[in-house]
Amino acid sequence: MAVNRGAALSALDVMRDAPVIPVIVLDDVAHAVPLARALVAGGIRMLEVTLRTPEALDCIRAIASDVPDAVPGAGTVRNAADAHAAIKAGARFAVSPGYTRSVGETCREAGLPLLPGVATGSEVMAALDGGYKELKFFPAVQAGGLAMLKAFAGPFHDVRFCPTGGIHAGNAPEFLALPNVACVGGSWIAPPELVRAGRWDEITRLASEAAALRRG
């Protein structure tokens, strides 16, 4: 189903669209559109293109222009300048490895849904203080994994998480079974070796399997 580009999008919309948000690293703009089409064909539309390469913004721009069924987002947003650049490139949402007031305020003022990264109770409280209740738990496995998310459920009962970092096809179902987990983030759906080889059918298969995962 095509995404209405004029429709307002919330962070919860991003998290609920599919069980998995792919974490994508692209260093060749030529791969952006076929990759996005392959993921959409498998049922994954929310695409986090990380700002880890010089080509990332051009990749977001290409997806936004040529793949209307995809919803491109910018990952690794670390400051206000990153957020502004992502918006200019056509990003519909942002994901950050941590939370700062500057990033939070910039995204809110621009109407850009943000999933800020947190790893501790204090960081969750800082994000809540900034008005954010949909958060990226990062790095998920290294920061305590399932046990930490279960511990968060008590004091932060109104927060929904997207665990990212160390998540793969084998452990994703355990995370998705938790009631405070709305989705997970992972790179296994679009591994660099398959992207470089142009194995789009294989990526569509991985996306289809991810889209079929059940949430708690």
Residues acting as catalytic residues:
48, 136
Distance CA 40, CA 35 (A): 9
| Rg for the chain, CA atoms, rounded | 16
Which ranges of 52-199 does DSSP label H, i.e. alpha helix? Answer: 56-66, 80-89, 101-110, 121-129, 145-152, 172-176, 192-197
Distance CA 144, CA 133 (A): 20
Query: Which tokens hold the place of 200?
Result: 């789009």
Which is it for strands 93-95 and 134-137: parallel, antiparallel or unpaired?
A: unpaired
The span from the CA of 75 to the CA of 78, in Å, is 9
For strands 117-118 and 184-186, give the pairing: unpaired
- The amino acid occupying position 47 is L
E-strand stretches of the chain: 20-24, 46-50, 71-75, 93-95, 114-115, 117-118, 134-137, 160-163, 184-186
Q: What phi and psi, each to the nearest 5 degrees, are found at residue 35?
A: -65, -45
